[in-house]
Structure 1
Amino acid sequence: MRAIGVTEWLGETLSSAAVPFALVTQLGDLWFLTVVVGLLYWLGRSTPRIGAGVDRERTATVVALLFGTVALLTTLKPLFGLARPPDAGVAPQAALVPAALEGVYAWLATGDGFGFPSGHALGTTVVFGGLAWAVRAGPLRRRVALAAGLVALVSLSRLALGVHYLVDVLAGAGLGLAYLLVVVGVLGTPRRAFGLATAVAVVGLPIVGPHPELVATVGLCVGGTAAWLVAGDRLLALSDTRRSGVLATLLGLAVAGPALAVTGLLASSVPLALAGGLVGGVVIVAAPLSGHGLTKKSA
């Protein structure tokens, strides 16, 4: 019912561009979105070139948007339970890649799990749209156009690689836009945005069951919300310096990164998934405070 021929047509028409599209599609992967949002939030006003337009309250809201994206995907994908296109697990044009890189290319260019809605389309819409709102560098119209262009490019890559149907991509972008507008236009604060992300994740538990990915997401959202409730006012009062931003970034990457990575590797363990998510959520949100504290101690 979702197969209306667009994926097949694009796969054939753009087959020669499969390798570049495999790289482009990483712009919508959760690992990339998390790194981009984390760096902006941790560095704050010390962010190179665009620091003057970075505000921690707004970037904290984007962190909450990212958490909400994960909550939506880990709830909606198993809820709908709709499969990907038949060849989603086969890397297109693999013969164009050196044999030594075939494994990496297969990881970049294929998809597994449920296909509806598209996580890349939803995630890029929410995160890039949120960043266009949050980072006040350049005219708003230009920021929105850049975000829309990135969403369109990543969405096209998903179709060209054959890992989604057109309906999946349109639904992902539409749901992402709706969620973004609710958070930015109605809720408007990090506290409320974190609360919504947590509510989505928790409500998903009785609907789709406590599968490890959703449990980890509950931990992530609860940890992030708790950290903001406890330390939000202090985080907003911080004066960013290059040193404190670098220390916050190193802490976030060194602690939250491995915690979330281990959570993914040990996805069959519900308690470990919850613990890893909690640690990741707390550290991501509280890292600027720790970076500032370490800066004062070393002064």
Structure 2
Amino acid sequence: MNAPTIAAWVFEPGATETVRTAVPAPFRPAIEAATHLGDPAVLLVIATGFFWYHADRDRGARVLGIALVAFGLTACLKGTILLERPVTHLAFAPDDYGGYSFPSGHTLGAAAVYGGLAITADWRTPTHRHALGAGVITLVALSRLVLGVHYVGDVVAGAVLGLTIAVIASRPALDPGHLFPAATALALVAVALPSGAFMPATLGAALGTTAVWYGRSSVPHTPFPQSRGFLLPLSVVIPLLLGGRLVSTSWGLPRGLELVTYALAMGFALAVPLRQTHGVLEK
């Protein structure tokens, strides 16, 4: 195939079907379930957990900011390009799967967050982290094709864009706090566009994190204390993030309420560790 032919093929429903057919039927349910590893709420919980428990406050904030920027950029691109999903052309795809196709938000978010973790974390060696991150990103991308809700080109573009965000935002010279207002700006633009998936939540989370990050007093760069105080954010924030997402996707949630829920949840998620660093909650 020449370049124009390949470019056309990756946006053909037949390419998606070819990928699904190549996956043995017994493995498809597990791969489809793996799509939740790229769900925005799950990624937000993972990024928030990294912020809570990593010894370096700025590294944790960087990954959290990467997640929010990825969500905002995804919605901006979807709402601008307005490419319909291939679901009407694929018999195995869910007919009622809403939203636009390009780029794959699950893949972009997964590439950004897991890529950011691979770069930023200090677990094992870089080779181990990069291999694990690449495996999870590939699994999420594959799940979107096996489900039939994206073109091949959607997931390729999502992976490239997500990794680009991770690499750029992980540069030490970049203040991680700048990612929060950047995500807020992207979310504000996206709210005015047709693609509104996860947008009230993204805008709320970006506003909450921006307000707390820039409203805090000077916080020293010391590790977060491992205390029982973390049970409080753990028991409040995660149920709000995942519960809000479940209610929103299953029954619908008023946009204003979704925005406020995520703003409060993420503001609280940042405020508690930042206060703990000062010893306010430390016993």
What TM-score do the two structures reach when normalised by structure 1? Answer: 0.77
| Larger proportion of helix | 1
- Contact 2:40/2:198 (<8 A) preserved: no
Aligned with 2:145 (options 159, 166, 183)? 159
In structure 2, list runs of 5 or more residues that go unmatched.
1-7
- Say which SS state the counterpart of residue 98 (structure 2) adopts: coil
**Residue 72 of structure 1 pairs with residue 97 of structure 2:** no
Q: Distance in 2 between matches of 1:19 and 1:232?
A: 48
Deviation per residue, 1:106-130 (Å, 9 max, x gap): 8xxx943211100121011100011
Alpha-carbon spacing, 1:238–1:177, altered in 2? closer, same or farther (3 Å): closer
Which of the residues 202, 205, 227 maps onto 1:220?
A: 205
Q: What is the aligned partner in structure 1 of residue 34 from structure 2? A: 24
Q: For residues 213 and 290 of structure 1, do their structure 2 counterparts lie closer, same or farther at Cα, with a shift above 3 Å needed?
A: same
Equivalent runs, 1:194-213 vs 2, <5 Å:
194-206=180-192, 208=193, 211=196, 213=198
In the TM superposition, residue 177 of structure 1 has moved relative to its aligned partner by 1.8
Aligned partners of 1:27 and 1:33 also within 8 Å? yes
Q: Distance in 1 between matches of 2:219 and 2:83?
A: 44
2:270 maps to 1:269 = no
Contact 2:76 2:190 in 1 (8 A): yes
Tell me which amino acid in the other structure corresponds to 1:9: T
Q: Is this contact kept in 1: 2:111–2:163, CA < 8 A?
A: yes
CA spacing shift, 1:211–1:148, aligned 2, 3 Å: closer
Secondary structure of the equivalent of 2:86? coil
* 1:123 to 1:212, Cα distance in 2 relative to 1, 3 A: closer
**Deviation at residue 227 of structure 1 after TM alignment:** 0.8
User: What SS class does the counterpart of residue 82 from structure 1 fall into?
Assistant: coil
For 2:62, the equivalent position in structure 1 comes to 61
1:50 corresponds to which residue?
Answer: none
Matched, 1:39 2:49: yes
Superposed, which structure 2 residues align to 1:1-299 within 5 Å? 2-3=11-12, 5-16=14-25, 17-42=27-52, 44-45=53-54, 54-86=55-87, 111-185=97-171, 188-206=174-192, 208=193, 211=196, 213-231=198-216, 233-234=218-219, 236-237=221-222, 239-258=224-243, 269-289=254-274, 295-296=281-282, 299=283
- Indicate the larger mover: 274-283 or 142-151: 274-283
Task: Give me the TM-score of the superposition, normalised by structure 2.
Answer: 0.81
Q: Give the 3 Å change call, closer, same or farther, for CA 260–160 of structure 1 in structure 2.
A: closer
Hey, what's the Cα distance between the residues in 1 that align with 2:274 and 2:242? 18
Q: Report if the CA contact (8 A) 1:194-1:221 is conserved.
A: yes
RMSD of aligned Cα (Å):
3.2
Contact 2:240 2:262 in 1 (8 A): no
Q: In the comparison of the two structures, how many residue pairs are matched?
A: 272
1:57 is paired with a residue whose SS is: helix
Q: Which runs of 5+ in 1 are unaligned?
A: 46-53, 93-105
Letter in 2 for 1:203: V
- 1:21 deviates by 0.9
